[in-house]
Chains A and B, each alone.
Chain A
Amino acid sequence: MAAPHMSDKHADDPNRASAGESHHDDEKALQELRSLLLSEEQHEIVTLRERLENPEQRAQDASAVVAEAIELRRAQGGDHALSAALTPTVEGAVRESVRKDSHVLVEALFPVMGPAIRRSVAEVFRSTVESFNQVLESTFSIRGLQWRFEAIRMGRPYAEVALLRSLVYRVEQVFLIHLKTSLVLQHVVDPAVATQDADMVSSMLSAIRDFVRDSFETQQSDSLDSLQMGQLQVWIEQGPQAILAAVIRGQAPPELRLSLKEKLEEAHRRYAREMEKFEGNAAPFEAFRPELTACLTASYRQQEKSKSRPYFTVCATALAVLLAAWFGYIGYQNREWSRFANELRDKPGIVVTSFSKSFGHYRIQGLRDPLAADPAALAQQHGLDASKAEFHWGAFYALDDAIAQQRAVKLLDPPAGVTLAVQNGVLHASGSCTAAWEHMMRERAAMIAGITAVDDSQLNSLGSTIILFDLARAELNPRQSESLGAAAAEIQKIRASAPGASFELVGHADSTGAEATNDRLSQQRAENVMQALVKLGVPATALHAAGVGMSAPLRPETDEQNRQYNRSVTIRVSGATGTSR
């Protein structure tokens, strides 16, 4: 383009014109030469230019290598810059996708949301269990007792005191604060900690930092990096756009500050643009919440393992076993004594009014008939140690049949062959006795406590009448006439009150002689007594004679006197009507 311009400028000069024509020819030749030599390259340049100037073509070319380019950038270590460049686009795309149809993203995230939530819940649960374990481990120790006392003194829950005392440190809150405005970008807090309004606290914290910086004329780059009050500290890390403040209880390790720095750096790396343009909308920083939550760490003191601990454990276990055994034994004894006291209430002649127990000692009070069973002896029979019990009994007369029967036996002293029984207050006397005892029994029985009536229908005073015979003789001995007379009189008396009564005369023989002879002899003796009684006025129809030989001896024949008793006839009432006398 420059050549024509120059030729126009010098057109009025002939030499110049000639030279110009020559030059023009040269140019043309050069063009021809150039086209001959470089026509292929020129064509390629034109093609490339068209390609570069065509957006569609450029997009097509870039699409062919974009994946490789990203891969190459990552390999070169440019992850963060690449992420920072892509983040706004990706975030915008996600927002747009959610705005259009949230189900697409929900479906895409569904497979990861479940595990993530479960993991989060498991982490919280693990943390809770760890804290709970700390409390449990210390509950039964001496230190635990000290803490319990302290909790009572301070009026705070034991768990809270135990956790605080076993705590090395705990990051309770973390603030991410915008440096320029002092507004909270993000705030996380341990669930176990009660907090004030995070917005106001963060602003006041910033004000205090400004106050300290202004008041002490420090350099502009200097800043307050920690505050401490008692067990509570605030560690502050400052970045170009934001500060990170961690509220820590206890003594945190220096490594924690490094961790806080890294978090702050990461926040700046991820949100540099948002921080710079921050106008009060903290929503973009919500995504940083998990990072801050990870800073809420805690450490607890490990239980000191001393050599004596196994012995202590063994002793404690043995003590626990002994205590359990002792309590078990006391419980068993209590049950047995309670059962015994209840059984005692059912015993005749005993009235239990109170039963008490105290630390293995027992006290039973009530009323007791002197004839009732001895409670101490009964306790021994139950396998109980009577020395552990105090018995306090007041005396009284029991009216139970059993006690009344014992009382009757004791007072009436019945002869052998007489049986006394009390039923529903009625004294039943049975057997054979003398007329004199029968008379005495009738007089005294009514005065015995617990006896309301007497039944002596089964008692006969003939039982003592024995008619003796000489050896091998069936004839009556004249010495027995008095006994026969008394027997006849008694029989008549009985018949007077019981006309239908009949009497059996039983003949006996001793063991000497043949059995058949003795049978006959005893039969003969009975018949001879019967005839004598008839002679004395007893009707024969009321009498029945029978010999039993030596089959029913009255006494064992240990000597001649006893043998004499077996050579006899006895009289007993049979077929009496049972009329009470």
Chain B
Amino acid sequence: MLQKKICMLGSFSVGKTSLVKRFVESIFSEKYLTTVGVKIDKKIVPVEGQDVTLMLWDLYGEDEYQKIRMSYLRGASGYLLVADGTRAATVDKALAILDEAEKNFGKIPCVLALNKCDLTEEWAIAPEREAEFAARARHVIRTSAKTGEGVELAFEELAKGMIAT
């Protein structure tokens, strides 16, 4: 079975961990995030008739006190960028992290998940900005950790992108 390493990137508290919690196999505690700075999960997705094992590196969200450890990104085949759709600044932050990653490790497939799409009244991303983001990412997908909307699609699109590369 084909295996791929993907990294989840984004600001602190955009819902990265919550986004995947219900959709992945996990054996490690979430305290790894605050100690080692990463937690490994696993997800198998079907792509073009074959199963692909995604080793999901859930990285501790970057904030003003802690930067992402770039060494964790080495060898990744794709990025799942996560931003909080109710806070526009987190999208900028996610793209800045992407810039930093691409500067260090080159360009690889990337999907931008605009999370918390269930909070429609608080949505802060204008449609024209979403189109702008699409130039950077393979797909821009609205997701919700609460309802599960878009989560599977995000993984499948990312996997397809990695296989096609």
For chain B, which range describes its interface: under 10, 10 to 19, 20 to 34, or 35 or more residues?
A: 20 to 34
Interfacial chain B residues near A196, Cβ < 8 Å:
27
Q: Are B2 and A280 in contact (CB under 8 A)?
A: yes
Query: Smallest CB-CB separation from B76: which chain A residue?
Result: A181
Stretch with Cβ within 8 A of A (4 or more), from B36-44, B110-118, B127-135? B36-44
Interface residues of A in 525-552 (CB under 8 A from B): none
Q: Given A180-B74, A181-B77, A200-B41: A208 and B28 within 8 A (CB)? A: no
| Given known contacts A184-B3, A197-B25, A210-B69, A203 and B55 CB-to-CB distance under 8 angstroms | yes
- The 8 Å CB contact of A182, one of B5, B26, B42, is B5
Interface residue A183 (Cβ < 8 Å from any Cβ of B) = yes
Closest B residue to A181 using CB positions? B75
Q: Decide yes or no whether A281 CB sits under 8 A from chain B.
A: yes
- Contact indicator B72/A199 (Cβ below 8 Å): no
Are A280 and B77 neighbours in the complex by a CB distance under 8 Å?
yes
Q: Which residue of A lies closest to B38 (CB)?
A: A207
Taken together as a complex, chains A and B put the C-alpha atoms of A180 and B74 apart, in Å, by 6
27 A-B pairs in the complex with CB atoms less than 8 angstroms apart: A178-B75, A180-B74, A181-B3, A181-B76, A182-B75, A183-B4, A183-B75, A197-B27, A197-B42, A199-B42, A200-B41, A203-B5, A204-B28, A204-B36, A207-B38, A210-B69, A210-B71, A210-B74, A211-B37, A211-B38, A211-B69, A213-B71, A280-B2, A280-B3, A280-B52, A281-B2, A281-B3
- Residues of chain A with a CB closer than 8 A to B72's CB: 207, 210
- The chain A residue with its CB closest to the CB of B71 is A210
Query: What residue of chain A has the Cβ atom nearest to residue B52's Cβ?
Result: A280
For residue A343, which residues in chain B have a CB less than 8 angstroms away from its CB? none
Minimal Cβ-Cβ distance residue in B for A185: B3
Residues in A whose Cβ lies below 8 Å from that of B28: 200, 204
The verdict on A180 contacting B75 (CB below 8 Å), with A203-B5, A203-B55, A210-B69 known, is yes
Whether the pair B40, A203 counts as a contact (CB closer than 8 A) is: yes
With the chains together, A178 CA to B77 CA distance in Å?
A: 13
Nearest CB of A to B159, in Å = 11
**Interface residue B79 (Cβ < 8 Å from any Cβ of A):** no
Interface residues of A (CB under 8 A from B): 178-184, 196-197, 199-201, 203-204, 207-208, 210-211, 213-214, 279-282
B→A interface (CB under 8 Å): 2-5, 25-28, 32, 36-38, 40-42, 52-53, 55, 57, 69, 71-72, 74-77
A199 x B5 contact (CB < 8 A): no
Residues of A within 8 A of B37 (CB): 211
Asked if A207 and B2 make an inter-chain contact with CB atoms under 8 angstroms apart, the answer reads no
The 6 residue pairs across chains A and B that have the minimum distance between CB atoms: A181-B75, A180-B75, A210-B71, A203-B40, A280-B3, A183-B3
Please give, as numbers and ranges, the residues of chain A lying within 8 Å of B53 by CB-CB distance. 199
Residues in chain A near residue B71, CB distance under 8 A: 210, 213-214
Shortest distance from the beta carbon of A362 to any chain B beta carbon, whole Å: 65
Given contacts A180-B74, A207-B36, A210-B71, are A200 and B42 in contact (CB under 8 A)? yes
- Which residues of B lie under 8 Å from residue A213 when comparing CB positions? 71
Tell me the minimal C-beta distance from B53 to chain A in angstroms.
6
A183 touches B42 (CB 8 A): no
Contact, CB under 8 Å: B38 / A183: no
Which chain A residue has the least Cβ–Cβ distance from B74? A180
For residue B4, which residue of chain A has the nearest CB? A280
CB pair B40–A211 under 8 Å, yes or no, is: no
Chain B nearest CB, measured from A330 CB (Å): 58
The CA of A98 and the CA of B57, in the complex, are separated in Å by 38
Instruction: Determine which residue in A178, A203, A204, A211 has the highest number of CB atoms from chain B within 10 A of its CB, and name it.
Output: A203
Closest approach, in angstroms, between the C-beta of B112 and any C-beta of chain A? 23
Report the nearest A residue to B165, measured CB to CB. Answer: A279
Chain A residues contacting B42 (CB-CB under 8 Å) are: 197, 199-200
Say whether B75 contacts A208, CB under 8 Å: no
Q: Which residues of B contact A200 (CB under 8 A)?
A: 25-28, 40-42, 55
**What would 20 more interface pairs be, CB under 8 Å, given A199-B53, A200-B27?**
A179-B75, A180-B74, A180-B75, A181-B5, A181-B76, A182-B75, A199-B3, A199-B42, A201-B27, A203-B5, A203-B55, A204-B28, A204-B32, A204-B36, A207-B38, A208-B36, A211-B38, A214-B69, A280-B77, A281-B2
Cα–Cα distance between A211 and B69 once the two chains are bound (Å): 8
Name the A residues within 8 Å of B5 (CB-CB): 181-183, 203, 280
Chain A residue at minimum C-beta to C-beta distance from B53: A199
The interface residues of chain B lying within 8 Å CB-to-CB of A207 are 36, 38, 40, 57, 72
B165 to A: closest C-beta gap in Å = 9
B25 partner residues in chain A, CB cutoff 8 A: 197, 200
The distance in angstroms between the C-alpha atoms of A345 and B109, with both chains bound, is 98
* Other-chain contact of B55, A180, A183, A279 (Cβ < 8 Å): A183
Residues of B within 8 A of A199 (CB): 3, 42, 53, 55
Chain B residues with CB below 8 A from A197, complex form: 25, 27, 42
Cα separation A179 to B4 with both chains bound (whole Å): 13
Whole-angstrom CA separation of A41 from B40 in the bound complex: 74
